[in-house]
Homo-oligomer: A and B are copies of this chain.
Amino acid sequence: MIAIFLLFILVLAIFLGFELIAKVPSTLHTPLMSGSNAISGITIVGALIVTGRSGSETATIILGTLAVAFATINVVGGYLVTDRMLAMFKKKY
């Protein structure tokens, strides 16, 4: 049953994603690319759970820590770089 719910959520999110992104003007496509890239760093949530679980083997912890590090680069780098770009988009009067 959980699988059904997750599938339903997936389907809705895909439709929503298409509707949202199709509206972004080409002006903003580069920041959109890096901004959505940052969102894909959400795997960090999974990495945290795998790493932080009690009683894991060393190998699991190493894998988890690497996952945390890489996902963090993706998240932090992605958001910061997007912000840097967007900070430049200004309207003058």
Across the interface, which residues of B come within 8 angstroms of A20, CB to CB?
19
Determine whether A9 belongs to the interface, using a CB cutoff of 8 Å to chain B: yes
Mark A residues whose CB is within 8 Å of B: 1-2, 5-6, 8-9, 12-13, 15-16, 19-20
- Copy tally for this chain in the complex stands at 2
Helix, strand, loop or mixed for chain A's interface? helix
The answer on a CB contact under 8 Å between A5 and B15 is no
Cα separation A27 to B20 with both chains bound (whole Å): 23
The answer on a CB contact under 8 Å between A9 and B5 is yes
Q: With CB as the reference atom, state the residue of chain B lying closest to A4.
A: B5
Question: A9 contacts which of B1, B9, B15 (Cβ < 8 Å)?
Answer: B9
Question: A16 contacts which of B1, B2, B6, B15 (Cβ < 8 Å)?
Answer: B15
